[in-house]
Amino acid sequence: MPELLVSMTVLVLVIFAATNLLVTIIRSNNENLNTLIAYGLAQEGIEGVRTIRDSNWLLGARFDGSLKGTPIWGEILNSTEQERFYTIDLNAVETSNAPITTPSALTNHTPWQLEVLDADELSGDETLIRKFFVAGGDGEFRYGHSVNSQNGEETPFRRYISIKKVPTDYGKPEELKKIRVASYVEWIEAGRPKVVRLDTELTDWYEGQ
């Protein structure tokens, strides 16, 4: 009888330990997966701003979106002091051979779209990332804040970017500028706040040649 009790006690302890180990492994896998997704979303934000800069050049504007002296991406990109926050999403791009002569025409031809955020909106619904399935895409999906007003599947992630224009310390500082971009992705993991932040600086190298 004592041997049976000892055996049962050992068996219970082994099962308990194995269960805890399994729970820990599952939780760790979920955390790793969420971190990978967060890094991907943060990198997408950086690449979206880079694409805006390059599209501006291709469409005849300056790297900061100035077209004939008119700011396009918000006055922040013409300021050297103020930092502004944005959401960034894929844009429905128009195709036309007509010359780009207005700010609205430029933004309609750029594959990414910026929306200005106030500081009190950074943790609100405006920054909540959703998962949208592409019609006819055979299971294909993409992340965003809104896609043609569809109601996508909510995710735990919130993304926003900050942009600040700063003068460079080389070349012609009064003319050659750069923008400092930070992309943030935040979420809650097991009751703890998590954040991924990626930074880059995009220069006006095309104008500097």
Question: What's 200's DSSP letter?
Answer: E
- Characterize 98-121 residue by residue with b for buried, 16 or more Cβ atoms within 10 angstroms of its Cβ, and e for exposed: eebeebebbbbbbebbbeebeeee
The answer to whether 80 and 167 have CB atoms below 8 angstroms apart is yes
pLDDT band at 160 (very low <50, low <70, confident <90, very high): very high
Domain boundaries, the chain: 2-203
pLDDT digits (tens, 9 = 90+) for 21-75: 556 666 666 788 899 999 999 999 999 999 988 888 888 888 877 777 776 665 5
d(CA 64, CA 72): 8
Please give the pLDDT value at position 14: 67
